[in-house]
Amino acid sequence: MSTMSFNSLRKILLLIVSIVVCWSFLVIETQASTGTVTGSVLNIRDGPGTQYAKKGSLLKGASVTITESRGSWLKIKLNSGLAGWVHVDYIKTSTPSTSTPAVSSVSQGATGTVTGSVVNVREGPGTQYNKKGSVAKGQKVKINAASSSWVNITLGNGVVGWISAQYVKADPVAENPVNNEPTPASSNDSSSKIEVTGSIVNLREGPGTHYLTRGQVSKGDQLDLMEEQNGWYKVQTSRGIAWLAGGLARVLTPPSAIAEEIQSPANPVPVEDPITPTGEIPLPGEINSNSETPSKLPGIARVMLDPGHGGQDPGAIGITGSYEKDVNLTIANKTAQLLRNSGVDVLMTRSDDRYITLNGRVDIANASDASIFVSIHSNSTTNRETNGTMVFYYVDQNIPAAVAQASEREQLARIIQNNLVRSLGRADKGVRQNNYVVIRYTEIPAILVETAYLSNLEEEMLLNDIAFQDRAAQAITNGIIEYFTSKGIL
């Protein structure tokens, strides 16, 4: 080997060693660490830097597993298996205690104690499974099976489900155990009851929305729990045995446990436009457990009106230059005044020309205790001949509470559509389902009105006509009052 070749090889080896040494300062494996999100909305990115694409976001309080550190960025993994990078400034790190016995090593039939404040019980070993109820800190459970991440348990009332292994600690085995199983719930034990979390919840003849209704129960009602089947609870009511959707109730814990509202670890909220200055897209996931009461029908008539678009977002632009945001706001404000004159309590996502993110509108509605949500829009298409009126609603089949609320959503949409067609005389484009953010994630019956087409010259002129706007507002008002009357709250 020549001197030149040897020197070249030596330089290459030194370069490789330097790179490895530098990389060791930048990359630190932290497989045993966990963390909690401290920022209100934290972006998840494809790589360690803001130049990488966003793949979702997490809300404050979410728990994550930290697998790697690179400079000021952490690589995290969620319980759902999703991985990505977040900025270290918005994660509070901790190292799990090694003194807690591994649940996976516990023999079948042992008992455990819940360590999380209130922990979700799920149908399967993962956050993608539906929630069946909850257990509170200090509650005893029977351990049927376990893996490194999830534990199959039986509650005192016989309900079987899965909880995250990090929130249950195996009880030490006594030398002369008398009874390692939780005490079965008696008929008077609160653990054999469920509490309704939806404001108004249908009771049905069987475990599914295709069964006939047998009346309704209200938020806070407590019922004897008989069994659980496919996400539905079989309960004893004053009118006999009935079923209700598990997503609209929670299993009560024993009086000695601290019964708070559920706060699951690593539960990203399934929204598509969170309230954040950057307007970034969060990852799809499950409903935040603090928002688990999607059926709100208070005893007063309260509506949330949502004039579509606004501010920097003009919406559709008509042939002559009309902005959809302006038409929507005018009709919404007219509707609000008519409703207030009729004794209806009206709230609005916006009452002037301002920009609000899609999820911002959802959050406003969900925090309002409104009975219904009506989003007002003007339609548009590339075919200038298309005209008419339509109303949308949506039922996400992956959200049990929304499924239980399906009939209310469709009923509201049909009533509003019928009133609009009758009043405006435009083509009846019908009632349809579409996966719009503002009607998918609202926790109350929600619809989206497409009054007429700005892309059609005749209808653009009508949408800017005061008399037409008045008729549209009156039709929406009449539909809302008709709906409230049918529910007995007006």
CATH of domain 103-251: 2.30.30.40
More confident position, 380 or 178: 380
In whole angstroms, give the CA distance from residue 208 to residue 226.
16
Least confident of 183-192, 209-218, 258-267: 258-267
16-41 average pLDDT score: 56
Greatest mean pLDDT among 42-56, 406-420, 429-443 lies in: 406-420
pLDDT at 31: 42
Percent of the chain with pLDDT over 90: 29
* Structural fold of domain 297-486: Aminopeptidase (3.40.630)
Greatest mean pLDDT among 50-54, 87-91, 105-109, 415-419 lies in: 415-419
Whether 71 shows a pLDDT value over 80: the answer reads no
Give CATH superfamily name and number for 26-94: SH3 Domains (2.30.30.40)
Token digits for 374? 């009506």
CA torsion sign for 206, 208, 212, 216 is: positive
In whole angstroms, give the CA distance from residue 122 to residue 227.
15
396-420 average pLDDT score: 89
More confident position, 442 or 35: 442
Percent of the chain with pLDDT over 70: 70
pLDDT at 330: 96
Spatial contact of 318 and 459, defined as CB atoms under 8 Å apart: no
Q: Which residues pair with 200 in a beta bridge?
A: 218
Whether 264 shows a pLDDT value over 50: the answer reads no
Enumerate helices (H) and strands (E) in the chain, giving the number of each.
Answer: 8, 27
**pTM value surpassing 0.95:** no
DSSP 72-130: TEEEEE-TTS-EEEEEGGGEEEE---SSSPPGGGSPTT-EEEE-SSEEEEESSSSTTSP
Residue ranges of the domains in the chain? 26-94, 103-251, 297-486
Angle at which helices 406-424 and 466-486 cross, to 10°: 150
121-137 average pLDDT score: 73
3-state secondary structure of 20: helix
In whole angstroms, give the CA distance from residue 150 to residue 159.
16
Whether 105 shows a pLDDT value over 50: the answer reads no
449-472 average pLDDT score: 95
Q: How many CA atoms lie within 13 A of 308 on its CB side?
A: 22
pLDDT at 150: 81
Whether 176 shows a pLDDT value over 60: the answer reads no
Would you place residue 180 in the very low, low, confident or very high pLDDT band (cuts 50, 70, 90)? Answer: very low
Spatial contact of 325 and 309, defined as CB atoms under 8 Å apart: yes
Q: List C-alpha distances in Å: 401 to 120, 146, 251.
A: 16, 29, 16
Spatial contact of 23 and 258, defined as CB atoms under 8 Å apart: no
3-state secondary structure of 21: helix
Token digits for 248? 């609209």
Whether 15 shows a pLDDT value over 70: the answer reads no
419-448 average pLDDT score: 94
Helix (H) or strand (E) holding 251: strand 249-251
393-399 average pLDDT score: 87
Q: What is the CA radius of gyration of the chain?
A: 27
In whole angstroms, give the CA distance from residue 371 to residue 203.
19
Would you place residue 139 in the very low, low, confident or very high pLDDT band (cuts 50, 70, 90)? Answer: confident
pLDDT at 34: 80
Would you place residue 276 in the very low, low, confident or very high pLDDT band (cuts 50, 70, 90)? Answer: very low
Spatial contact of 223 and 237, defined as CB atoms under 8 Å apart: yes
pLDDT at 374: 97
Token digits for 44? 């998840």
Token digits for 73? 């960025």
More confident position, 288 or 415: 415
Whether 85 shows a pLDDT value over 80: the answer reads yes
Contact partners, residue 277, CB within 8 Å, separation at least 6: none
| CB-CB neighbours of 50 under 10 Å | 11
Fold agreement (103-251, 297-486): no
Token digits for 170? 């195996």
132-137 average pLDDT score: 71
Q: What is the DSSP letter of 62?
A: -
More confident position, 197 or 445: 445
More confident position, 13 or 113: 113
Whether 313 shows a pLDDT value over 50: the answer reads yes
Q: What is the DSSP letter of 443?
A: S
Helix (H) or strand (E) holding 468: helix 466-486
pLDDT at 144: 77
Whether 214 shows a pLDDT value over 50: the answer reads yes
Whether 108 shows a pLDDT value over 60: the answer reads no
More confident position, 118 or 322: 322
More confident position, 180 or 453: 453
Average pLDDT along the chain: 74
Whether 413 shows a pLDDT value over 90: the answer reads yes
In whole angstroms, give the CA distance from residue 395 to residue 445.
10
pLDDT at 102: 44
470-476 average pLDDT score: 97
| CB-CB neighbours of 304 under 10 Å | 25
Whether 283 shows a pLDDT value over 90: the answer reads no
Q: What is the DSSP letter of 198?
A: S
More confident position, 431 or 226: 431
More confident position, 61 or 111: 111
In whole angstroms, give the CA distance from residue 368 to residue 403.
21
Q: Which residues pair with 217 in a beta bridge?
A: 201
pLDDT at 81: 66
More confident position, 43 or 484: 484
pLDDT at 252: 64
175-197 average pLDDT score: 48
Spatial contact of 328 and 351, defined as CB atoms under 8 Å apart: no
Q: Quote the distance between the C-alpha of residue 319 and its chain's center.
A: 38
3-state secondary structure of 483: helix
Whether 456 shows a pLDDT value over 60: the answer reads yes
3-state secondary structure of 162: strand
